[in-house]
Amino acid sequence: MKPFELLKPQPGLRVLITGAASGIGAAMARAFVDVDAQVVICDVDAAAVERFTSASASLYGCVADVSDAAQVGQVTALAERALGGLDLLINNAGIAGPTGAIEEIDAQQWEQTVTTNLNGQFNFLRKAVPLMKATSQRAGIITMSSVAGRLGYAFRTPYAAMKWALVGLTRSLAVELGPSDIRVNAILPGVVEGERMDRVIAARAESLGVSETAMRDEYLKKISLRRMVTVDDVSAMALFLASPAARNITGQAISVDGNVEYL
């Protein structure tokens, strides 16, 4: 096989993506469908799941809260039933968590961030890994962390702590699952262009009494390339990591962020 031919995931790849009815998750799901993969998604937003999965016969979806182990079991059962096995798990679901000084953060909000962003990934791993060991010869796991998983992030400690934890989880599982030929990598997106980021910029500009243009410039100054990334940039990395070209890449935390220098 020629080198450029290795860059495309093999047709028929069986993929499960969590938190994928919108945003980065949805972009990755569309990207995998475009290369002839079969994809199961889950999300807590029932209406969004219905809208998204109706767009393609290669998309299957269900409503699930990743922090609920029973609901996670239903999602992995759907993947096994609909796809006949599983080749790739993309653990994407997560929440932003609270913002504030550590002494002001509500304990319940901290627990919710841990439960969703870390325990939710564990819930899927413990169900998906046996499927991969049993049925797949090209298996992989992609952990969606964040640039906040490599940099300090003042006043966002619950979110950052979980994203750092996911990098540790990724590197540990790469060692554990390597003998089973299961590769495990993390993607660390940076400042992602889109409506969500627009809202963040607008809210921060209002709170500081500056213009949105000035606030956007402040965000861009943190990035070496002086531009945000897109959901397609992140999806392209996921496609690469799922391709034969990445068959010897595991245990890595790969930033897709234009090199964010500080947060």
159 in catalytic set: yes
CA nearest neighbour of 232 among 69, 34, 41, 74:
34
Collapse the DSSP code of 180 into the 3-class scheme (helix H, G, I; strand E, B; otherwise coil) and give the result. Answer: helix
- The DSSP symbol for 23 reads H
44, 75 Cβ separation under 8 angstroms: no
Nearest to 149 by CA among 134, 162, 159, 164: 164
| The one catalytic residue among 60, 159, 219, 262 | 159
12: alpha, beta or left? (left if phi > 0; alpha if psi -120 to 50): left
Helix (H, G, I), strand (E, B) or coil at 96: coil
Q: Is 28 exposed, middle or buried (0-12, 13-18, 19+ CB in 10 A)?
A: buried
Residues classed as catalytic: 159
